Amino acid sequence: MEFPLAFGLQKTGLPLIVTLGRLKNLCFLIDTGATHNVLFAYVYEHLKNEFKVLEDKQNIMGIDGEYKETPVIEATFNFEGTDYTSSFSVFDGSDAIRQIQEETGVQIHGILSTDFLVKNKWILDFDKLTIRTTD
C-alpha cells in the first residue's frame, strides 16, 4: 500500500490519515516524535463501547511538559483496507486540538506514534510525501 500525505499536508500542514470501518472518519496525526499512541479523551468518551480498556496505565508528557498518568485502551481501525489494532493512551489534549481546529478547520482525534509505525512496518517517504507498507 502507498498512501499520499499531500492532502493533509496541503490543508493543514500536518501528516494526517482518516480511518474507515467501525471507527470510521477518525483523523489521526502521524507524529514521528511521539512515543505513545494517543486517543483524545473526548473521542473516547463519545465512542467508549468501541474500545477495550486495558489494565495498564501510562505516564505521558502532556503539551505543558508535565507527566500525566493516563488510562490505556485498545482500538482497532481500518485504514486503506487493512485493520490495525494498537494500544492508545487516553489523553485530554483539548487546548492544543482546539487551536489546530481553529487554525485549519480539521478536527484531530488522536496521534499515531513511532511505535505504531515500527510495529506495523509503515515507512514514511519524506521525498514523495507518502506512507508505504511492506505488505
Do 31 and 97 form a contact (C-beta atoms < 8 A)? no
Q: What pLDDT band is residue 135 in, cutting at 50, 70 and 90?
A: low
Lookup: cell for 126: 519524506
Q: Which domains does the chain show, CATH number per domain?
A: 2-133 (2.40.70.10)
Do 3 and 131 form a contact (C-beta atoms < 8 A)? yes
**Sheet of 67-79, strand order:** 16-18, 27-30, 110-112, 38-40, 82-91, 67-79, 52-61
HSE-CB at 103 with a 13 A cutoff on CA atoms is 10
Express each pLDDT in 38-97 by its tens digit. Answer: 999 999 999 999 999 999 898 888 777 888 899 999 999 999 999 999 999 999 988 888
